[in-house]
Structures are given as C-alpha cells and as structure tokens.
Amino acid sequence: MSAPSFAIVITAYEAAATIGAAIDSALAQTRPAEEVIVVDDGSRDDLAAALAPYGDRVSLVQRENGGGGAARNTGAEAAKSEFMAILDADDAYGPRRLEAIANLAAERPELDLIATDASFVVDGVKKGTFLEHNPFPRGDQRRAIFERCFPTGWPAVRISALREAGGFDPEMRIAYDWDCWLRMILAGSAVGMVEEPLYDYVLHGGSLASSRLASLRERVALLEKARRNPNLRPEDRPALERWLGVYRKQVARGAIEAALQGEGSRGELARLARSRDLGLRTRALAALAAAAPSLVRRLAPSPPPPEERFGASD
C-alpha cells in the first residue's frame, strides 16, 4: 500500500532562538512532508521573524497561550494530511525519520501511532536512547500504557483517530501526550515502533527536583483519570491499579527529594506521612524528612542524571 500523507507539526513557545534547527531538520527529510506547520503558542518573542527565511515552505498558525496540549490540538486542526508527525521546537529529526515512519505506515496500515527511537541529547552530547530505558512492548499494549509512555512523546499520529479520542487534554501541562496515547490505545489504536534513534530529544540538565515532582504528579492524575475511561475493561484494572500505586509512591519520594533541595514544604511531607495510599516505609521516610531533613539529606542517594530518568518506575 502507498504511504499516507504527513504534516510535521512544531509547537513553539518563546522558541525564536532555537526553532531554526528543528525546522531545518523537518525540511531536510529524505521523504518530504506534505506540510510543515509551526504553531505559535502565544509567544512574546519574534517567532515570525525567525520563520521569515523559510518563506512558504513553513506555515505559521498563531494562538493564545494555552500550553503544549492545546497547541498540538491547534496543529491537528490546521493539518490537511492523514498523520501529524510531532516535533518539539528545541529538538530535531534525523534525515530518515519520516521515511522510516512512512514505510512502516505503508506496511501496517492498521497503526494509528508510529514512533522511532530517540537519542537523549544533554549539553550537546548524545547519552543513550529512549528504548534503552523504555523497552517497546511486544505483547499487551493496553496494559503497558499504564506503566510508561512507550509511544514516546513525539510519534506520528493518525489525525482521525486522535480526534475520535478527544485530542489532547489542555488541562494537563506535562503528561498530555501520555494521557492522549492512553485514551487512543484503550479505544483500540495500535502503536508501531521503528527501533532506530531518528529523533534527537534535548534534555535540559538544569531541571530541578520540583519539575520532576510535577511530572510525577501528572502521572498519578492521568491514571486516576483512566479509572473513569469508558473503554477500560475489567481485566485492565489490576495493571492500572498497580501502576497507580507505584507512581503515588514516586510522588512521595519526589516530594521528599524536592524538600531536601529546598523546593518543597514540610507541610506536604507531613500530609504524605499520614496518607493511607502509601506504604509504611514511605510514610516513615516522609515523616523523618519533615522532622529531620538534614539527617535524610545525608542518607539520600544522589539523583540520577537526566537521561536515566525515563525508566518505567522512575
């Protein structure tokens, strides 16, 4: 079968200084996209000037600031192609990425989500890949999606299936991609993966414990939301509840880590120490951190580097 059409959609906020590399990579594909669309999510910098050298090779859609999920919804609405291929404004495609995705789409027309492996780029250096920390599930994708966002945050997504699933949740500020893929998979969508790192994902090494904690909290929120999904089957619930428990514990540990770095509050630690959703050991550690943070700081291990924070249970 012939490959479907693709729109590369780049969402941008305050990205005038970095978006050039992303656009260059989108335009340098060995299999060109039918459309390259930039969604300006209410930026205050001069993004239009940064796009001017590209002329009509790039379409610009402007909107009021609403976050990444809302911006991706706008990109999907603007696209005329069958698939939206996602690219963040400070990342880049390898030259063969769209070709590899298109080939798999032609071979397996039932797929609604198609990704490639991605390289983690820290301070300009590639340090490992997404699949090293997130193996692609060979079996039950319905249950695997509760554990981790295995389609990655940057797949090509069939726009009709995206719309049927309700698009991205604009209320989610971080995990809107995982939440969307989860809803699509529970509704029957299948995911394919090209196991070659053809996407460069730039990790910002300066990210602090507080931002990690916010991410963990959204993991809990999306799984709590999944409990109410009408497509959830009874046999799905044990896996959902298991991983909801895992991530609640991770939130508690993240709150302890943030507090020890001066970014959290003892009040939150005291609340966690009383939580019935957590095990005795985690509650005890939260209570100790609230009462004697200097002691816990000496006992706590150093946080892992950014590229190692993408494992299933991190």
Here the tokens at position 247 are: 């991530």
Residue 57 placed within a domain: yes
Whether 314 is covered by a domain: the verdict is no
Domain span holding position 236: 209-308
Judge contact between 99 and 31, C-beta under 8 A.
Answer: yes
Question: Domain check: are 148 and 266 in the same one?
Answer: no
| Range 99-120 average pLDDT | 98
On whether both 147 and 221 belong to a single domain, the answer is no
Mean pLDDT of 249-267: 74
Q: Given a cut of 60, is residue 310 above it in pLDDT? A: no
Residue 127 belongs to a domain: yes
Distance in angstroms (rounded) separating the CA atoms of residues 218 and 193: 25
6: pLDDT strictly greater than 90: yes
Pairwise CA distance, residues 289 & 296, whole Å: 6
Asked if residue 289 has pLDDT above 90, the reply is: no
Residues 226 and 185 in one domain: no
Interior/surface letters 55-87, b for 16+ CB within 10 angstroms, e for the rest: eeebbebebeeebbbbbbbbbbebbebbbbbbb
What average pLDDT does this structure show over 73-82? Answer: 98
